Amino acid sequence: MRESEQAVKPVWAIATVVLLTGMIVAGLRWPSLTDAGNPLLELTKLLLAAGVGVLVSSAHRRSNRDKLSRSTQQAEILLCVAGAMMMIIIGNSTARALGIAGGASIIRFRTPVKDPKDAIVFLLMLGLGMSCGLGNFAVAAFGAIFLSLFLLMLVRVGAEKQRAMMLEMTADGQKFPTEHVQSILARYQIPFEPRELKQGKDATVRYHVKLDTTISLEDLSAQLVNGSGGLKSVSWDNGK
């Protein structure tokens, strides 16, 4: 799985460079493409909005210490496309703008956005989509580059160097793979302290650990479970 991910990275990087370069060149050559009578142009705007949404959503995912949910990523991309489509439909018509505003007021999002940063990213994605819909491709490209880099930089702003957590692991049986677990923690240079051992049908051990904020809990959990030959579940909780 990891080898396939490594193979995709160069392709993803090349596609990103081609997309942004093409948008910048097109935007500088044609500052504002608003020909509403050309369906291919409107389709291009939607495709570019989708590309920008994927790029910024990927940067947002990488900037989050805890991985974004799949639905959140998809919502960001769709919101960028929605912004472009709204601008295409509205054009220069005030009546259309009022109609879309009235229709949008009917929609109610019941899922709360827990992180304020995610709410701001939603708003910015809508703005990038609108830029694509207006044909301001250079503005959208530069905005996507700036937002992606800024999100990645924000990881270091106000971030704690370490976080204390409780690591609970359940073995597949009564024998706990201590050597495997401790070797993984040592590889990541994670200080740990055994706190509790429960013996039963399946042995359960709790460790108090201190993790660097750059370490992904999802990746670390996968390494603890996969190939251990003994762990069947791993869970994390804020340690005290």
Strands 204-212 and 162-171 come out as antiparallel
68 vs 103: which has the higher pLDDT: 68
Q: Is the model's pLDDT at 83 over the cut of 70? A: yes
Strand order through the sheet with 162-171 = 192-198, 204-212, 162-171, 231-238
What share of the chain in percent tops pLDDT 70? 79
The pTM (predicted TM-score) of the whole model is 0.61
Q: Residue 54: which H helix or E strand, with range?
A: helix 39-63
Q: Which stretch of 73-82, 151-160, 183-192 has the lowest confidence by average pLDDT?
A: 151-160
The pLDDT value recorded for residue 65 is 61
Angstrom CA distances, 21 to 25, 53, 57, 142, 193, stand at 6, 16, 19, 10, 51
Tens of pLDDT, residues 178-225: 888 888 888 888 888 888 888 878 889 999 998 877 777 888 888 888
The segment with the largest mean pLDDT, out of 37-46, 125-134, 161-170, 226-235, is 125-134
